[in-house]
Amino acid sequence: MNVLKFGGTSVGSAERIKNVARLITTGDEPRIVVLSAMAGTTNALVEIADYLYKKNPDGANEVINRLSLKYAEAINDLYATPEYRQRAEESVTAHFDLIRSLIKDMFTSFEERIILARGELMSTEMMHLYLAEQGIASTPLSALDFMRTDKNAEPDAFFIKENLLNLLDQYPDEKLFITEGYICRNAYGEIDNLQRGGSDYTASLIGAAVRASEVQIWTDIDGMHNNDPRIVDGTTPVHRLNFDEAAELAYFGAKILHPTCILPAKQSNIPVRLLNTMQPDAPGTLISNETDRGTIKAVAAKDNITAIWIKSGRMLLATGFMRKVFETFENHRTPVDMVTTSEVGISVTIDNPKHLEEIVDDLKRYGTVTIDRDLVIVCVVGDLSWQHLGLEVRIISALRDIPVRMISYGGSNYNLSLLIPAADKARALRALSRHLFDAPEATAEQ
């Protein structure tokens, strides 16, 4: 069994849906196809919910009308026969009617999650109908029947596996299954989701549950590039990554992959392939357990970082200082990304400043606290294990003209992170590409 996930752009128009239909019906291996909502849909649904939280039904109605027009147009272009056009219209209209029925006084996260689920429900129903119109049999699997999170909002792998396998057992002769990415039920049976961009996560959770031969993430670019293609010109695809390298890149800002997506695949040792729907023959990126020794693979950047520096004379020879500092972040449920220490202090970074004020208040018990805002973490990824000579030097010397606030190396074999001002991000990424990838060898001296 293969799992093939198609993102929003890949199903973003009638033309694109037809293209995906061709791709998922090529080849013999049985497959589970995971679809995102059509591009722009989830953003529009978030906007609708936002208007409803703010008790502005007119604002919500305007977005609903705009979105439903987009769907009417797509349906018109997608189906060849009046019969299927009508069936698709009925299905999509039912979803928009449900959204409209939620325009009421009491609007809570319960109603919001019901609205956010509509995008994936509509795209999968539209695909199923399109395939049926083409005379191609496909079996819809409702993600709401098997994809579930537990009381900690973490996927319930046991429930997912048991229920998905039970469902699949009912169709022993079917080869093409279609399901929704992103949506799930929570521990209370309510409609919920795996967070924005979570369809990648759906795909790898399904891959792990069915022990797939491969999880394919189909998107609008030919694999993981060696730098952010939205900022740097001339980036090129990286053909092979190991799971840890891919996880670091995803976590540190390479949007092509959702950060959570790697773990289930890694734990089950299922290769993940990143492929381009617009260029299906391009090799893309294969993510597996294999490591290319001593090679720098790619650069990514994570925005909106705040650094907190706690300086304390008492840190000298003191035990327990670090514990108190980290406990403070834990107490305010704020994860820490980067850490550097010296004898007089410790610097940490966070990307969620929601509880910054309380954190600083508490930290002042242990030392003098200084905050630096508007920073980015630039993360260089590859096999950077310390036995390989010369790689750190190449990275750091590329940034000789950039003020560097923190450097972190040695926390894993695969990452060297630098904290720099947001204003210097583009310049830093371009300099790294020039020094690491345009220059002849990005491999370690042997």
Footprint of ligand ADP (CB under 6 A): 7-10, 36, 197, 219-221, 224-225, 228-230, 254-256, 298, 300
329 is in an annotated binding site: no
Task: Please name which of 180, 168, 258, 150 lies closest in space to residue 158, comparing C-alpha atoms.
Answer: 150
Q: Do residues 24 and 32 touch, judged by C-beta distance below 8 A?
A: no
Task: State how far Cα 183 lies from the chain centre.
Answer: 14
Q: Which is nearer to ligand ADP, 220 or 372 (CB)?
A: 220
User: Least CB distance from residue 359 to ligand ASP, whole Å?
Assistant: 29
Q: How far is the CB of 299 from ligand ADP (least distance, A)?
A: 8
Give the integer Cα–Cα distance in Å for 434 and 428.
10
Q: Is 302 annotated as a binding residue?
A: no
CA 373 – CA 90 distance, rounded (Å):
50
Considering only the stretches 3-11, 69-77, 86-94, 163-171, report the one whose residues sit in contact with Mg ion under the rule CB under 5 A. 3-11
Instruction: Determine if residue 7 is labeled as part of a ligand binding site.
Output: yes
Strand order in the sheet with 415-421: 339-341, 345-350, 296-311, 368-382, 415-421, 406-409
DSSP per residue, 413-429? TTEEEEEEEGGGHHHHH
Q: What are the residue ranges of helices labelled H in 289-401?
A: 321-331, 356-363, 391-398
Does 284 contact Mg ion by CB under 5 A?
no
Part of the chain binding Mg ion (CB under 5 A), chosen from 6-14, 135-143, 285-293, 414-422: 6-14
CB of 256 to ligand ASP, least distance (A): 11
C-alpha R_g of the chain = 24
Out of ligand ASP, ligand ADP, Mg ion, none, what residue 138 binds, judged by CB under 5 to 8 A for its kind, is: none
Closest residue to ligand ADP, judged by C-beta, is 7
Give 312's Cβ-side CA count (13 Å radius): 22
Residue 394: alpha-carbon gap to chain centroid: 29
| 192 annotated binding-site participant | no
Report yes or no: 403 and 419 within 8 Å, Cβ to Cβ.
Answer: no
Q: How far is the CB of 8 from ligand ASP (least distance, A)?
A: 5
Structural contact between residues 200 and 8, judged by C-beta atoms closer than 8 angstroms: no
- Specify whether the CB–CB gap between 11 and 35 falls below 8 A: yes
Binding site for ligand ASP (CB under 6 A): 7-8, 36-37, 42, 119, 181-182, 196-199
Query: Considering only residues 188-227, where is the footprint of Mg ion by CB under 5 A?
Result: 197
Residue 42, contacted partner among ligand ADP, ligand ASP, Mg ion, none, CB below 5-8 A by kind: ligand ASP
Query: Which of ligand ASP, ligand ADP, Mg ion, none has residue 37 at its interface (CB below 5 to 8 Å by kind)?
Result: ligand ASP
Q: Which does 421 bind (CB under 5 to 8 A by kind): Mg ion, ligand ASP, ligand ADP, none?
A: none
Say if residue 42 carries a ligand binding annotation.
Answer: yes
221 binds, among ligand ASP, ligand ADP, Mg ion, none (CB under 5 to 8 A by kind): ligand ADP
Q: Is 93 annotated as a binding residue?
A: no
Give all strands (DSSP E) within 212-318, no chain letters. 214-219, 240-242, 272-276, 285-288, 296-311
345 interacts with Mg ion by CB under 5 A:
no
Closest by Cα among 420, 421, 408 to 339: 408
230 annotated among ligand-binding-site residues = yes
Please calculate the CA angle 5-173-185 and round it to the nearest 5 degrees.
Answer: 45
CB of 139 vs Mg ion, minimal distance in Å: 25
How many residues touch Mg ion under the rule CB under 5 A: the total is: 2
**Given the complex with ligand ASP, which of 37 and 308 has the nearer CB atom?**
37
Known binding residue 277? Answer is: no
Burial readout 208-218 (b: 16 or more C-beta within 10 A, e: otherwise): bbbebebbbbb
The site for Mg ion (CB under 5 A) is made up of 7, 197
Binding residues for substrate: 42, 120
Binding residues for ATP: 5-8, 219-220, 230
